[in-house]
Amino acid sequence: MNLREEDLTDETKTLISSLPSEKEYLGGNLCKYQGSWYYYNFLQGVLNVQRGFQPQDTDVIVASFPKCGTLWLKALTVALLERSKNRSSEDQHPLLSNNPHNLVPVLEMNLYRDTPKPDLTKLLSSSPRLFSTHMPYH
């Protein structure tokens, strides 16, 4: 399910109406929240992450600005983590058959955008869990 502007929670719609906004930037509306610009539907994901994400001590989070080498960072991180698992040369490395974007979900886009409580059980079986984000540190 892809979240549309009309699918935003009432709380998010109220918040958006109080924020500085830009109409129709590259096909979507933007609003400025905590010093950063977000598309409305991604803002819902950011809010859901801020409220509901419970990091574990072993989590690895790849954080970067959009369009500045995120795919490369994800691939390097997957390669490093797989190397530490002492895979034999006969095993198929995940990067041989998967795009790094498919292996490392984006918190605010892939996991929390459509729901405040995504099912992370399949990620719980792997340690460390690997995520990415474009949200700023603050």
Residues annotated as catalytic are 134
CB 40 within 8 A of CB 20: no
Sign of CA dihedral 103, 104, 110, 115: positive
Alpha-carbon 97 to chain mean position: 21
For residues 108 and 133, give the distance between their C-alpha atoms in angstroms, rounded to a whole number. Answer: 7
Which residues on adjacent β-strands are paired with residue 60? 130
